[in-house]
A and B are shown apart, each in its own frame.
Chain A
Amino acid sequence: NAGVTQTPKFRVLKTGQSMTLLCAQDMNHEYMYWYRQDPGMGLRLIHYSVGEGTTAKGEVPDGYNVSRLKKQNFLLGLESAAPSQTSVYFCASSYSLRGWPGELFFGEGSRLTVL
């Protein structure tokens, strides 16, 4: 009964380092999303995917890349981390139902600090 699992849960990076956050869902959902949460700003959409092999930009995509090679996994990459990317990152997934908003299921978050 895992739902959406994010790894790692905590990470500290130095400016310029790279890293990848992994999101895995076991609900066979078509859609997956990466959000970042910052104090006083709510959650903002970074990138999303509507299916295996497809990705698209969200509201704040700069400095991030994503890949969806398998339906159950959605990877978020930082090629050269910056202090402005210090945040809590949430992955979410939802089912696909034409014209009907499927509920988003969220992971527990990954807290990233960039020094």
Chain B
Amino acid sequence: AQSVTQLGSHVSVSEGALVLLRCNYSSSVPPYLFWYVQYPNQGLQLLLKYTTGATLVKGINGFEAEFKKSETSFHLTKPSAHMSDAAEYFCAVSEVTGGGNKLTFGTGTQLKVEL
């Protein structure tokens, strides 16, 4: 069975500082990994995904994540935080079968950006 662990339910950074949100996964097969963002009172939208190939994945809004198989990690980073980045972030792992793309989500990390 696949699972995702997000370390830190709340992360606070200063505007302009590095953002680092941690995600570790467990999967019995090569994983597909995702980061989603949720702004208040909205649905989730895809930030980036790793399927195969290059382990450093770039997404929208300046975010990127690196797949490290040896560490079973897929941490999300952004060099310089902006106030508009304040949101909840979810890491997810996928098992793609004939039953579609069933995602297993982590419990989420609330990012706060302070002046």
Contacts and interface: CB of A to CB of B under 8 A. Distances in A.
Interface residues of B, number: 25
B100 A94 contact: yes
Contacts of A31: 100-101
A33 B43 contact: no
B43 A101 contact: no
Interface string A69-112: 00000000000000000000010101010011111101111000
A54 to B, nearest CB: 10
B101 A40 contact: no
Contact of A43 (B41, B98, B99, B105): B105
Contacts of A56: 99
A96 B106 CA distance: 24
A101 B32 contact: yes
Chain A, interface size category, equals 20 to 34
A66 interface: no
Nearest to A49: B100
B100 A107 contact: no
Contacts of A42: 4, 90, 105-108
A2 interface: no
A50 interface: yes
Interface of A: 4, 30-31, 33, 35, 40-45, 48, 50, 56, 58-59, 90, 92, 94, 96, 99-104, 106-109
30 contacts: A31-B100, A31-B101, A33-B100, A33-B102, A35-B105, A41-B107, A42-B105, A42-B108, A45-B104, A48-B99, A48-B102, A50-B98, A50-B99, A56-B99, A59-B104, A92-B43, A92-B44, A94-B100, A94-B101, A99-B96, A101-B51, A101-B96, A101-B101, A104-B44, A104-B46, A104-B101, A104-B103, A106-B43, A108-B43, A109-B41
